Amino acid sequence: MVRFFLDPIFVATDGSKLPKYFAYGDPNRLVRVNTQTRYYGEEPLMLVAADVDDTQSALIASQPDVTKFADDLDQQLGADLDTMQTALETLKLPAQMLTATTTHRQVLRGISGVFQIAQCMAGKGFNIFAGGVTLSTTLGSLPTAARQALTNCATTLGFDTTGITLSSTIRQVLTAIVQQATPSAMMGVQF
């Protein structure tokens, strides 16, 4: 069954970035399975879709630096709302807009949108969170070139930046991306 995780990055000796608990050659690797990954730009985090059984899933999910999504992506966060918000905020992903009725599929879709922006910025040589930037940093506090890269990436990827100003926080900018993210798929599972 394909399941979804937020997993730290392991950098191999050849410089390639791999999911920590799924990576070949990593001493922390717990399972060898088919995966598909998406990077959070230059942040040490990736979204992993993995074809794992119940035992493998439980083993990965038991790691303190892993966030696992429900097997049923249409399950609402419900009582897990606070846990999910804390996990995402710790990983520099805005989560204040989540509610108990938000589904895991909706969370994954939003994360995918944010990762698209971060990957685009990384391709232009920028990291959203470089130099101590946090979710509370205002857009106007970013270096001009980084701010322009963020704006260009959002526009190129089809996100509407209307209402985003220099006084908007990175949280507000990324939340706007989350709210506009379109359906995507990994390993044949749409979210």
Q: Which two tokens stand for residue 190?
A: 């749409």
Q: Roughly how many angstroms between the first and final C-alpha of the chain, as a whole number?
A: 15
Q: So what's the pLDDT on residue 25?
A: 57
What pLDDT is recorded for position 30? 74
Q: Are 67 and 20 in contact (CB under 8 A)?
A: no
> Please, are residues 119 and 45 in contact by the beta-carbon 8 Å criterion?
no
**Each residue's pLDDT tens digit in the chain (191 positions)?**
999 999 999 888 888 888 998 866 555 677 778 899 999 999 999 999 999 999 999 999 999 999 999 999 999 999 999 999 999 999 999 999 999 999 999 999 999 999 999 999 999 999 999 999 999 999 999 999 999 999 999 999 999 999 999 999 999 999 999 999 999 999 999 99
At 155 the three-state DSSP class reads helix
- Quick one: pLDDT at residue 31? 77
Say what the pLDDT of residue 23 is.
67
Residue of 105, 20, 96, 113 whose CA lies nearest to 63: 20
